[in-house]
Structure 1
């Protein structure tokens, strides 16, 4: 890993150590601690790669986008590129770690993963994961990474077994969790377009025109899949990014408003308050008392 300082959230890019080929690295929490040093894991991070951790011993709480996940032996946590994570007490846990860029997994696999559920989980408990095909696939990926065969064969085997493990993980979700496949491919397209364009498109009509569907159809698909309207999903995504920038960045509210497509900071403040019952400044002061006045 290597860090890049930005005006907003601290970004961490994937820089494999010498000897690692391809775009997938199998390491351990112990080696990550040794490589990063004591200060690497203190601040919130936005990764440009994916991180899959299997806890073998110890416990802590790992936070992904304001949700804290208690980690125990046997648990798995998958932090995806673009999400903001906050390490717990990393010294208290051990286990293998896969670091991989999005391009390390083939496009077809990513499309299947996106189509497998309305929202891909970040956390699987030991009870959910143990004894499943996903656990077996993860063991195969661990074995592939440690083989002494040629680097090309090893990397190919690792990419395929890890892709299988990820696919099977999104299927290993308990009944009643709310995780279900989308009812229509158009909803997957809407969700992908929302992720790509939420900073500049805030209206359902803009997405409908982009995708070639009516606003009524997008709202129907959104409600069928999530119980929320398309506008509520757009607002939810914009507010999540606003919270990330307010909580973890140092940019003033006016600059954050511009980054999220608002011409007037007062319009952004009003928008944020209507959806969170608090102003951006109050939210920032609550989660970051050191940032009052920014």
Structure 2
């Protein structure tokens, strides 16, 4: 009996590195070391990654969006995101795969949450600072340096500089309020909790009770920071996962509905149509048509 894996293939950090916290490669080396079947097909990351382009042009796919690559492009891939490279390497540059914990400086780190969130939200920066390539060169040198007792700490600080110099400011530009974007620990805690429980389709009251806040307090945190209510943030996360599973998994629409906490497929269809003006089937067909065009 042949068992077909219907889920989106997942890649762990120890699949790409013997170091469980960070891996650094040139794009050319990355292609040589990885099976192109998995590089060129959608797969879900269980870690974060940065891809910096130094030469060449091409495309990269993050979730169901296509981004054009050119020298100076920086891609940021968050944990749980689905992406894939082109099947044939047409660009040069660097790939850094890392755990979010690697960036943590210890103690009460005021930037830990905002750095992790920024990687997930930004995804593509087309116009980067002219000296950003120099930071990647420094990380490359330190990563391959032998016999250094301070190697991890030096790389950690270079990575934090890269985050705070380029990625976090781009994320701040997406927020309503720059100071909130950096300092609102409650909002990052809310987002983290939604990530844990969204598939259960919790009520705002459930989240508020778990976090020790009133519904009014929680909604104020969400709206001050993102301009969206807690209910909208929950729906956004459910919708994103529905799109990922429809686009990249082999699960039936009924299976996806049950995974995301809907009692019946018709309930998810109503939810999906309300947010996208498409049925789940229409969205899946559209994604597969676009994939066929890219392959053809």
- Alignment map for 1:90-169 (pairs within 5 Å): 90-106=88-104, 108=106, 112-115=111-114, 119=118, 120-125=121-126, 127-131=127-131, 137-150=135-148, 153-169=150-166
The residue matched to 1:199 in structure 2 has which SS?
Answer: helix
5 Å matches for 1:214-233? 214-233=214-233
Give yes or no for contact 1:56–1:95 (8 Å, CA) kept in 2. Answer: yes
Change (3 A) 1:129 1:122: farther
Name the SS of the counterpart of 2:50 in structure 1.
strand
What stretches of structure 1 of length at least 5 have no aligned partner?
none
| Offset at residue 17 of structure 1 (A) | 6.9
Query: Kindly tell me: are residues 38 and 107 of structure 1, through their superposed partners in 2, closer, same or farther at Cα, counting changes over 3 Å?
Result: same
Are 2:287 and 1:287 aligned?
yes
Determine helix, strand or coil for the equivalent of 2:200. Answer: coil
* Residue equivalent to 1:189: 189
Query: Runs of 5+ in structure 2 lacking a partner?
Result: 292-296
Which range moved further: 32-41 or 169-178?
169-178
Contact kept in structure 1, 2:257 and 2:264, CA below 8 Å: yes
Question: Secondary structure of the residue that 1:52 maps to in structure 2?
Answer: strand
* CA–CA separation in structure 2 for the residues paired with 1:290 and 1:65: 13
Match of 1:173 among 160, 170, 174: 170
Distance 1:149 1:246 in 2: 48
Local SS of the residue matching 1:198: helix
Distance 1:175 1:17, change over 3 A: closer
- CA-to-aligned-CA distance 1:80-139 (integer Å, 9 cap, x gap): 2211113235511111211223343327598614236975412222x33323xx665444
Deviates more, 1:263-272 or 1:23-32: 263-272
Moved more, 276-285 or 219-228: 219-228
Instruction: Determine if contact 1:61/1:89 at 8 Å carries over to the other structure.
Output: no
Between structures 1 and 2, the one with greater helix share:
2
Matched, 1:14 2:13: yes
Structure-2 change in CA distance of 1:171 and 1:11 (3 Å): closer
Distance in 1 (CA, whole Å) between partners of 2:74 and 2:97 is 14
| CA positional deviation for 1:69 | 2.1
Distance in 1, matches of 2:246 and 2:16, equals: 33
Q: Is the 8 Å Cα contact of residues 143 and 151 (structure 2) preserved in structure 1?
A: yes
**Secondary structure, counterpart of 2:71 in structure 1:** coil
TM-score, length-scaled by structure 2: 0.83
1:202–1:235: 8 Å Cα contact kept in structure 2? no
Contact 2:74 2:128 in 1 (8 A): no
d(CA) in 2 for partners of 1:241, 1:76: 24
